[in-house]
Structure 1
Amino acid sequence: MFKDLFRKQKRYATIPSEQAKKEIPEGIMKKCPNCGHIMIAKELEKNLKVCGNCDHHYSLSAPERIRMIVDEGNFFEYDTDLISDDPLSFPNYSKKLEADREKTRLNEAVVTGEGTIGGYPAVVGVMDSRFRMGSMGSVVGEKIARAADRAATKGYPFILFSASGGARMQEGVLSLMQMAKTSAALERMHRARVLFVSILTNPTTGGVSASFSSLGDINLAEPRALIGFAGRRVIEQTVRQKLPEDFQTSEFLLKHGQLDQVVHRAELRETLIRILDFHSGRDHDGDH
């Protein structure tokens, strides 16, 4: 009798029914790619897509970033009609562009426009890494250059969020030319004495990091963002030495003078408002 009480029971693996699967909506939980912490997706959204366990900053789409930074309902987009062509007839490039347009509902890897941030007018540009990894082709360079020219004409500060894998290889030398074009547009802005604030997010690499994203009057970055030109392995093979663990992070660049401040996402909007307020020339009564 006692033997029967302690007899091992067979356990069988169970597979959730299709009905059970339907009761748990897809995307309800998110796993942090940095620490593995599992969060409710809605809570992650409320936390500005920052992991509550390790503070990992998830990538943001251009529309998400604009909603987070620009005053609600106060954004007017520029150059929505500009669309990339395939100048080199690169294999499957046109199909990939079309697939990215459908996936992101954007025409290109950057959104530019004007709006207000804390009531202060500004020209705003936001790169979106979902579109060809935020790579800079002819249209991306043209949109950024036009935005800089509009900022210079209107006298509005230019706030630009970078997130990019670099120049777009499918457009060859035409994409490399955008480095010079965007830099020249920012120089015209500088001569007009118009503020340019560059915010580098994860990742900002290649030709983008080597051109406009590093040319801000004020350079900010989000925590632990990957920022650099060539890949870590390539640099180590070139210099024949081991690089520091935090090499090419925003904290490393801050330590070595390439950034002015590393700003947590929760504090970024208020930081920009303070910068715009300081450069507006207004006193506390609103007078110039």
Structure 2
Amino acid sequence: MNWINNVVRPKIRSLWSAKRDVPENLWVKCPETGEMVFHRDLEANQWVIPNSGYHMRMPPKERFVQLFDGSDYEAIATPAVTQDPLKFRDEKRYVDRLRDSRAKTGNDDAVLVGAGRVEGNAVVAAVQDFDFMGGSLGTAAGEAIIRGMEEAVARSAAFVMFTASGGARMQEGILSLMQMPRTTVAVEMLREAGLPYLVVLTNPTLGGVTASYAMLGDVHIAEPGALIGFAGPRVIEQTIREKLPEGFQRSEYLHEHGMVDLVVHRHEMRATIGRLVRLLTHAKGTALIPA
């Protein structure tokens, strides 16, 4: 009995522990085709499903790595804000939701800002993280975007905004909605400085974000298949009681109807942004843009 207790059982426990330590997300399922892709292959392909071309959500820091020359960028510190100005509570306290999102993403809030060079051009970029409370626009996100635009002016750099959001953050009420005019004023600051403002619309971009800075760019680029609009298609169908056209509010539909300037595959995004910045700043080098 001592041999079973002292040797066999500890061995079984160690094997069970090792099995439980294996990550559960080694394989990622394509939402369109159901194809299973090994997560390292997906990361190596910039979070694009190889066969279907479906663009998965991409972590903000990975965006910076893929965007900037040599994956070299400077993280820009963003202003601190009051965490829970309205002491909001629904099913959970707002402070608890913030804590959970920070633990999940490793970020303080939904927007990260970085600065570097894209094909030799000075660029400041901001990225919204949909995994942080749906990329919702609150005071912290608004302050981060404004800080990024101020940094672009200080560096005489182009500003690139990668949007991914469900809209305003309801837990902050009117304070969240005030970020729409505040970011709009910051966009005007870029224009007065004569600096390019490029918007990359990723899946999804909705609500107050679409109604403000997401649609104020000099050029609007969209990733393939991205859902872009104010209200979602299901809400619209329930309101007007009509079936919407196929692909309504998707990148390709909006490009066809003049709301989006370019639909660009993620593999071509860096080169396209580099060409656009050269074109808009009259920098030397080719400024050709793919049709």
Instruction: Determine the C-alpha separation between the residues in 1 that align with 2:81 and 2:101.
Output: 12
Q: How does 1:234-253 map to 2 (within 5 A)?
A: 234-253=235-254
Q: 1:60 to 1:219 in 2, by over 3 A?
A: same
Q: How does 1:12-51 map to 2 (within 5 A)?
A: 18=16, 21=19, 26-51=24-49
Instruction: Determine the C-alpha separation between the residues in 1 that align with 2:103 and 2:23.
Output: 23
* Count of residues paired in the alignment: 269
The CA deviation string for residues 230-274 of structure 1, in whole angstroms up to 9 with x for no partner, is: 122222233332111201111111111111000001111111111
Q: 1:58 to 1:84 in 2, by over 3 A?
A: farther
Instruction: Determine the C-alpha separation between the residues in 2 that align with 1:135 and 1:160.
Output: 15
Aligned-residue Cα RMSD (Å) equals 2.0
The CA deviation string for residues 109-163 of structure 1, in whole angstroms up to 9 with x for no partner, is: 0001311112211111011111111000011111111221222333211011000
- Give the 3-state SS of the residue equivalent to 1:241 in structure 2: coil
- Give the 3-state SS of the residue equivalent to 2:276 in structure 1: helix
Counterpart for residue 102 of structure 2: 101
The answer to whether the Cα contact below 8 Å between 2:180 and 2:208 also exists between their aligned partners in 1 is yes
Deviation at 1:29, TM superposition (A): 2.2
- Which stretch shows the higher mean deviation, 275-284 or 182-191? 275-284
Q: TM-score, normalised by structure 1?
A: 0.87
Q: How does 1:67-82 map to 2 (within 5 A)?
A: 67-72=65-70, 74-80=72-78, 82=80
Q: TM-score, normalised by structure 2?
A: 0.86
Counterpart for residue 214 of structure 2: 213
The answer to whether the Cα contact below 8 Å between 1:137 and 1:174 also exists between their aligned partners in 2 is yes
Instruction: Determine the C-alpha separation between the residues in 2 that align with 1:230 and 1:23.
Output: 41
Q: 1:20 to 1:36 in 2, by over 3 A?
A: farther
Q: Which one has a bigger Cα radius of gyration?
A: 1
Deviation at 1:81, TM superposition (A): 5.2
Paired residue for 1:90, among 88, 91, 112? 88
Counterpart for residue 186 of structure 1: 187
- Which stretch shows the higher mean deviation, 24-33 or 163-172? 24-33
Q: 1:25 to 1:150 in 2, by over 3 A?
A: closer
Of all paired residues, the percent bearing the same amino acid is 43
Deviation at 1:106, TM superposition (A): 0.6
The answer to whether the Cα contact below 8 Å between 1:198 and 1:213 also exists between their aligned partners in 2 is yes
Deviation at 1:282, TM superposition (A): 3.0
Counterpart for residue 162 of structure 2: 161
Deviation at 1:193, TM superposition (A): 1.4
Paired residue for 2:61, among 47, 60, 63? 63
